[in-house]
Amino acid sequence: MAIIGGGLSGLSTAAKLHRLDQSIQLVLFESGERLGGVIHTEQVGEYLIDHGADMFSTKPSAAIDFCCELGLEDQLIEPKPEGRGARIVRNGQLVPIPEGFVLMRATQLWPMLFTPLLSLQGKLRFLLERWISPTKGDKDESVSTFVQRRMGHEVLDRIVAPLAAGIYTADVTKLSMQTTMQAIARMEKKHGSLARATAVRRRKGEDSVERGSTGARYGQFRTFQDGMIGLINGIAQSLPDDSIHLNCSVESIRSIGNQWIVTESGTDHKFDHVVVAVPPKAAVNLLEPIAPLASAELAKIESASAAIVVLGVSATNIKRPVNTFGFVVPLSEKRRILAGSFASHKFSGRSPEDHVLIRVFMGGAMQSELLEKSDEELTTIAQEELSELIGLTGDPLVSRVVRWNDAMPQYHIGHGDRVRIIDEEIASTPGLSFTSNALHGVGIAPVIKQADQVAHEVIASLKESGNTSNG
Ligand SMILES: Cc1cc2nc3c(=O)[nH]c(=O)nc-3n(C[C@H](O)[C@H](O)[C@H](O)COP(=O)(O)OP(=O)(O)OC[C@H]3O[C@@H](n4cnc5c(N)ncnc54)[C@H](O)[C@@H]3O)c2cc1C
């Protein structure tokens, strides 16, 4: 059995397969010199720097369940209790997100009425939401259309768009409501409005966590003491020693009879089953000869790029410190950064005592031109922006620029239909599977959930073909 790609998708599929049937001979090809793909952690002196993901959600439970399966639960830590929550920049100030506002829905009314983020007009428009009729039918729409239609443009521009951009680095005028905010879209359909849905949930006691949160429900997140690399190392350790092949870029896959020929560095390898777990751009080429429809649809999935400027600074160099996990920046603020995350406020062990580790996000779908700048220029921009927003002075003690090119698949309107075509063609091609964060969710939890599903499908297909000790 070949698994192509040693990011979280490929690794977790491999680990799940190994747990389900240890007789399967796994061969995982990773083109890079390390495992983990966009997940990586670097220790620089006493600073622990996550290059990509810095935490995962316990909902859905796939990721936390997986950690328990791998015996990694002792390594997990929760976000610090103090300072939970995020802020939004408004007129250069870091304004708290109204209490109870989670992603797209206000679970408390009063904080929305008193927030300086919205004008009086914006608040009145928000209050109208209860009386706006839902759209008919199931047609997908953009996050921007949905929020503007229901709550007005101020809630969109000043609250929802920067929060959504923080997760998807996306253009909200293209971001698919059905595939990124499905639960909210369903609430509208079922209850007629988000206000009514919230009232029902409140009566049932279902919003108790959300009501005390701002921006995200931080209590439901976890990370590893040693950074997110802990997950990658834990998965790798669960796999047979000889199964992982680094610096092996797969060039092509073709079928001969019911065998797959995987060509890597000019060498052919024969397998009964192949799991492709590479990002869309790489998958387009690999799948083109063997699943042309899927390949064509994958070619339509755009990916955004981003840079993270990581700065380790002395706490005394921050003249206007804020006790928060981070902040997001609306486009209307005309700044050159998307968000800032105070890694050392979020989790213990990220910086020396009295120092702060800050991750500044730049680029994304909306400011991609910034990524043409050099690392030095990006670092200067990040420092200038932080100087204005939190009064950062002096030079950082540690700085890094991490670039992620084409690393964030964009779930644009119609993404659900695209994924259906991809899934159908792959499912009808015996011995072939495909899993990636480009299909059913970009977060660590949905990626692991999909890997679990793929692993079960592979086992079922191997049983059907009567071949469980597969090479
Ligand atoms: C900056 C950033 C921050 C994030 N933050 C969070 C967060 O805080 N929480 C969260 O839940 N999620 C977060 N995510 C999302 C999450 O980390 C990703 O969705 C997930 O890790 C993607 O895993 P993957 O295996 O699908 O893709 P990748 O990590 O891209 O892995 C694909 C692998 O395939 C390899 N490959 C490509 N082509 C070939 C080939 N031809 N042959 C062999 N190997 C090949 C690549 O080298 C790579 O290792 C973040 C993502 C990014 C980019």
- CA 446–ligand 1 middle distance (angstroms): 13
150/71 Cα distance (integer angstroms):
45
Rounded to the nearest 10 degrees, the angle between the axes of helix 62-69 and helix 444-464 is 70
Ligand 1 near 442 CB (within 6 A)? yes
Show the tokens assigned to 159: 């609250």
**pLDDT > 90? residue 207:** no
Which CATH number covers residue 157?
Answer: 1.10.3110.10
Whether 41 maps to a domain, the answer reads no
* Residue of 12, 360, 410, 444 to test ligand 1 pocket, by largest number of atoms within 8 Å of CB: 444
Residue pair 13/3 in contact (Cβ under 8 Å)? The answer is: yes
Which CATH number covers residue 456?
Answer: 3.50.50.60
How many structural domains does the chain have? 3
Same domain, 280 and 314: no
Whether 205 maps to a domain, the answer reads yes
Q: Which of 210, 239, 256 represents a domain boundary (last residue)?
A: 210
Q: Which of 160, 178, 210 represents a domain boundary (last residue)?
A: 210
152/130 Cα distance (integer angstroms):
12
Whether 45 maps to a domain, the answer reads no
61/67 Cα distance (integer angstroms):
10
State residue 179's pLDDT score: 95
Q: Is 353 strand, coil or helix?
A: coil
pTM over 0.85: yes
Partners of 48 in the β-ladder: 43
Higher pLDDT, 104 or 443: 443
214/361 Cα distance (integer angstroms):
20
Same domain, 319 and 335: yes
Q: Find the domain containing 199 and state its range.
A: 99-210
39/196 Cα distance (integer angstroms):
39
Task: Give the mean pLDDT of 249-260.
Answer: 95
The continuous run of DSSP H or E covering 431 comes out as none
Whether 50 maps to a domain, the answer reads no
Mean model confidence pLDDT for the chain = 94
- Determine the residue type at 158: R
- CA 231–ligand 1 middle distance (angstroms): 13
* Residue of 11, 38, 437 to test ligand 1 pocket, by largest number of atoms within 8 Å of CB: 38
Same domain, 202 and 119: yes
Same domain, 158 and 288: no
Whether 46 maps to a domain, the answer reads no
Whether 142 maps to a domain, the answer reads yes
Nearest CA to ligand 1 atom 13: 53
Show the tokens assigned to 326: 């981070």
State residue 336's pLDDT score: 97
Task: Give the mean pLDDT of 356-367.
Answer: 96
Whether 48 maps to a domain, the answer reads no
Same domain, 427 and 286: yes
Query: What are the pLDDT digits (tens) for 230-251?
Result: 999 999 999 998 999 999 999 9
Ligand 1 near 27 CB (within 6 A)? no
Same domain, 313 and 402: yes
- pLDDT grade for 467, boundaries at 50, 70 and 90: low
Same domain, 70 and 204: no
State residue 214's pLDDT score: 61
Ligand 1 near 8 CB (within 6 A)? yes
Q: Which of 409, 425, 448 represents a domain boundary (last residue)?
A: 409
Same domain, 400 and 350: yes
Same domain, 316 and 380: yes
State residue 258's pLDDT score: 87
Q: What is the DSSP letter of 166?
A: H
- CA 448–ligand 1 middle distance (angstroms): 12
Task: Give the mean pLDDT of 178-189.
Answer: 94
Same domain, 418 and 395: no
Atom of ligand 1 minimally distant from the CA of 361: 1
Which CATH number covers residue 381?
Answer: 3.90.660.20
- CA 212–ligand 1 middle distance (angstroms): 32
Query: What are the pLDDT digits (tens) for 16-57?
Result: 999 999 999 999 999 999 999 999 999 999 999 999 999 999
- CA 309–ligand 1 middle distance (angstroms): 19
State residue 23's pLDDT score: 95
Handedness of CA 40, 42, 46, 47 (dihedral sign): negative
148/205 Cα distance (integer angstroms):
28
Atom of ligand 1 minimally distant from the CA of 285: 41
Closest CA to 152 of 182, 184, 123, 175: 123
The continuous run of DSSP H or E covering 187 comes out as helix 182-191
Same domain, 103 and 206: yes
Question: Taking the C-alpha atoms of 346, 349, 351 and 356 in order, what is their torsion angle to the nearest 10 degrees?
Answer: 20
Whether 273 maps to a domain, the answer reads yes
Nearest CA to ligand 1 atom 35: 5
State residue 82's pLDDT score: 87
| Half-sphere exposure in the Cβ direction for 57 (13 Å, CA) | 13
Same domain, 386 and 418: no
Nearest CA to ligand 1 atom 19: 442
